[in-house]
Structure 1
Amino acid sequence: MEARGERLPENRMSQRDSNPAAVPHAAEDIQGDDRWMSQHNRFVSDCKDKEPDVLFVGDSMVQLLQQYEIWRELFSPLHALNFGIGGDTTGHVLWRLKNGELENIKPKVIVVWVGTNNHENTAEEVAGGIEAIVRLINTQQPQAKVIVLVCLLESYKNKAL
């Protein structure tokens, strides 16, 4: 991998490759009702049935947007899809995107808002997880503009991004 024509140091590459926030994985079924997987399957089905201009993907910050009037006023007319699941981490979103949530659609814009639940990760790891999501989107949806929203948490305040 190159940055401005220069090869990245080996230790930088291995850090990125071993970043736990950039490893796709399904969420654990804590409630025992298969809620998370059911939500994911509904999103995959929505990809087959709808033609969104805008796709929102992320955690509860995205999921809760639908509860506000601004969603109905601004985003519903754009045929926006909301693929937010409360509690999701960067690894969960990566898994969902790799498992059907980017198929059968061609949105013009994809908004990513995730990372607030990565409590076990450093700020650098979370940033790497978000970067992995953006790379995946750019590969699978090259026509889409990607917008990343971030919420800097108090726990990340003194950590370098």
Structure 2
Amino acid sequence: MARRAEASSAGTPATLALARAGIAFTALAYEHDPRAQAFGLEAAEKLGLDPARVFKTLLAQVDGELAVGIVPVARQLDLKALAAALGGKRAEMADPRVAERRTGYVVGGISPIGQKTPSPTVLDESAILCETIYVSGGRRGLDLELAPDDLLAVTAGRYAAIARER
């Protein structure tokens, strides 16, 4: 069952970064099932949200440098499009251990906000159509609702067409 949490009770680097930046957000917590394979789809289902508004945070190596791609949970990250959006030639998914070490979050709870070592960030342009979107709050079982432009402001990110159908 989903419940709304106050920003102060969520207490992750992501919520703290948003509070410091003065960005309005809502934290939504749910009971994470440790057997879940698709963390983003689990969040959408448990919170009763449209999967087109729930975004997953993926880390890739673009020409050897770590980058963040944020795409709707029902779609896949287009690695070629991510590379092109960042002016690179080649991209591949980052090793999960590297992603955890660089972000300070665990896989399934990696937030694009408040990462230990920030990386260039690209949000799929489909988010432009949404007043608010949902991203991981920095732990499994916590999502944050905020305006896509605010997400880009706090991550110094940009929009690009980086999602493709499964």
Structure holding more helix per residue:
1
Larger Rg: 1
TMscore range, shorter length = 0.3 to 0.5
TM-score, L = length of structure 1 = 0.33
